[in-house]
Amino acid sequence: MSSTSKKKQWGLAFLMLALPMILAAIYYGGFAKDRFVSTAQVVVRQDGGNQSAQIPGLATLLTGANPASREETLYLREYITSMDMMLLLENRLQWIEQYSEQTSDLFFWLDQDAAREDLLKYYQRMVSAHYDETTGLLRVEVQAFTPELSEQMLRVILQASENFVNEVSHNIAREQMKFAQGELDTARKKYAKQKTELLSFQNTNKVLDGKTTAQSRATIIAELEGQYTKEQAALTEMSFKLRGDAPQVRQQKQRVEAITRQLDKEKRLLVSSPEGTQLNVVASRYQQLTLDAGIAEEIYKTAVAAVDNARIEASKKIRTLVTVVSPNSPQIALYPERLYNLATIMLGLLMLYGITRFILASIEDHRD
């Protein structure tokens, strides 16, 4: 191997190995800022509901949470890393000003006057929330340049998260109860209206039960018809035995005529045209009003039961935030992991250097 080739190899090794490692060592040794991490683990627990299907793992043992809480926990994860949470932290702790105070670490430098979108990206680098499908726990981590700030931020996040979970679940419960109560009010008004119409109809027509009255009238007609048949038969029999002007015959004729007049009167009271006020119309209208009132009453009873069911279901959907692992006050900076990062960089550079050497050697072989 010629001296020129050796110089090229040494130059390549310097450029691809030594120089990057020197720069990385300078960065991690003199400029990288220590970042302290405060962590907590939480879960959204359902207070009521069906507990037959449980989440396996630690969440079941600690909280008894069921699969229904998974969705709310994922909602909470998005809320924690949202702009709303970022602005809330800024309002309470002025975290932007505190993070922007460090200027040595260029990779974690923050411009205090940056746009909100850039601030959110930086915030999401420093605040993370990871959901564990096995245990159902949400692990929240906050990185800060001081241990006090990381713990303070995490405690504010958990407090806001608890308010968020409570507000969401109570809003759902309130909406369900509001809808059920509205249906109950409507059913109550309709039932009261139908009962008022029925009472007014009874008072106007002087009947307690139109159907019963009509049936009673029909019974009277039937009895009168029976009497008419009997008395008419008696009159026919007398006409064969006595003269037509005999007192007994005249008296029997008067009896038959009286029954006939009464029968005609009862029939006129019972049956008339649809626009009349006779008992058939009264009974039909009364039956319709009674039916409408009965339907309204059943709807009202159903609405009352629906309110009770909504109250029970709403109580089942109440969620609470359970803190399984409380925020810690870090004493040792977890980041940056200097030795690990330097070793990883070294390994990556060696692999890149080897690939480059292999490519260059292949090119030289083809030239030869």
> What is the structure's pLDDT at 88?
95
> What is the structure's pLDDT at 146?
93
> What is the structure's pLDDT at 161?
93
Helix (H) or strand (E) holding 150: helix 147-205
CB proximity list for 44: less than 8 A, separation 6 or greater? 65, 69, 72, 73, 76, 138, 165, 319, 320, 321, 322
319-325 and 36-46 strand pairing: antiparallel
Where are the strands (E) in 117-226, listed by range?
127-131, 138-144
Rounded Cα distance, 202 and 210, in Å = 8
Sheet of strand 127-131, all strands in order from the earlier edge strand to the far edge: 127-131, 138-144, 36-46, 319-325
The answer to whether the beta carbons of residues 326 and 228 sit under 8 Å apart is: no
Rounded Cα distance, 120 and 116, in Å = 6
**Structure tokens given for 20:** 């990057």
**Cα–Cα separations (whole angstroms), residue 172 to 45, 260, 313, 316, 318:** 15, 73, 10, 11, 9
The mean pLDDT values, 10 residues at a time, for the chain of 368 residues are 66 85 88 92 73 44 51 90 94 93 88 92 95 91 94 95 84 74 84 80 60 63 77 75 71 80 66 48 68 82 81 71 90 87 92 87 72
Q: Look up tokens 């990385």; give the residue.
A: 24
